[in-house]
Amino acid sequence: MRIGRVDDRAVLVKPTDDRIDAASTVQVAYLSEPFGTTTAIFADFAAFRRFLATEPELRYVPTAASRLQAPVPLPGQVFGVGLNYTDHLAEIGRAGTRPLPMTFTKFPSSITGPFDPITLPTDSVDYEVELVLVIGRHADRIAAEDAWDHVAGVTVGQDLSARGVQQAQQLSLSKSFRGFAPIGPWVVTSDELPDRDALPMTCWLNGEVVQKGTTADMVHNVAELLAFLSTVTALRPGDLVFTGTCAGVGFFRTPQLFLRPGDVVRSEIAGVGSLVNPCVAPSASGAYDQAFAALAVRPPLTS
């Protein structure tokens, strides 16, 4: 099942080629109350499945893919995980290590749609294609073997980062500028994934492959991540978990590669879908980077 959002309404999307863009056409069926929004769907995903079993036959209509919005517009919590792919650890000089999941938050206001533009606030914005989990059942202190039972589905995400701000030890802020969390184009339920723990992922910049990997190379797989997070805080229906990125990010290239106005970032996970996000601006010519760098050298606050 593919659950999307059009005109703020929940839709089911007929299986289609994952490699869509804003100019594509998709077949969607609008859902009725009480599950007319994706927020309502993920708030009680088990009830939604029961509802579908009794729903009359759905009528699908052709719709421009450009109308697809972020499938989860108002998550209560958005978690991010860093240093979670073996090849990414190798590119930063930490091959063979197994660090604890480096956990941070992306503020929900950073969520944007699968084809929305990325406004570049600094000159050091980096790309990171990621598998994103959508929680469908309350998860508190769960065991790894039960973790997938708490996942409603998965979607494609970009964990965009303003690296200059990040270097000023502002990890969550650096990843939470407006529009720094494109997700979509829909949520695919885990029962439809060909191999939920080994999904090929690719990121293109202006048509050139810059990242290519597989979720099988996660240091901590989905089950381990959810078990780890749930030891500290309860994961609630509709929450999102960005699970980390593979090698090839711009910050660790020589020379470094950052996004510029006019660039187009395409992110794809096989069996899930794709995002196509143009970069717009102008950038702030490093203004945020400089401001945060200046703050970083000040004496630390005591409280």
- What contacts 50, CB < 8 A, 6 or more positions away? none
Q: Percent of the chain, pLDDT > 70?
A: 93
Q: Which one, of 118, 87, 127, 101, lies nearest residue 226 by Cα? A: 101
- What contacts 118, CB < 8 A, 6 or more positions away? 112, 125, 158, 160, 179, 180, 182, 259, 265, 277, 278, 279, 280
Confidence (pLDDT) at 284: 56
Distance CA 269, CA 212 (A): 10
CB 16 within 8 A of CB 4: no
Q: Using the 8-state DSSP alphabet, how is residue 285 labeled?
A: T
Distance CA 130, CA 159 (A): 7
Confidence (pLDDT) at 78: 98
Confidence (pLDDT) at 302: 39
DSSP 71-130: SSSS-S-EEEEES-BHHHHHHTT-TT--PPPEEEE--GGGEE-TT--EE--SS-EE--EE
- List pLDDT tens digits, range 181-194: 999 999 999 999 98
145-158 average pLDDT score: 97
Residue type, 162: A
Instruction: Between 164 and 95, name the one with better pLDDT.
Output: 164
Q: Using the 8-state DSSP alphabet, how is residue 56 labeled?
A: P
Confidence (pLDDT) at 98: 79
Confidence (pLDDT) at 282: 62
Distance CA 98, CA 94 (A): 9
Q: How far is CA 79 from CA 58, 69, 133, 209, in A?
A: 34, 20, 10, 26
What residues are paired with 119 via a beta bridge? 280
Sequence length of the chain is 303
Q: Is the pTM of this model over 0.75?
A: yes
Mean pLDDT of the chain: 92
Does residue 240 have a pLDDT over 80?
yes
Q: Which two tokens stand for residue 279?
A: 């970069």
Among 3-17, 116-130, 141-155, 162-176, the minimum mean pLDDT is found in: 162-176
- List pLDDT tens digits, range 21-73: 999 999 999 998 999 999 999 999 999 999 998 877 899 999 999 999 999 99
Q: For residue 301, what pLDDT band results from cuts at 50, 70 and 90?
A: very low
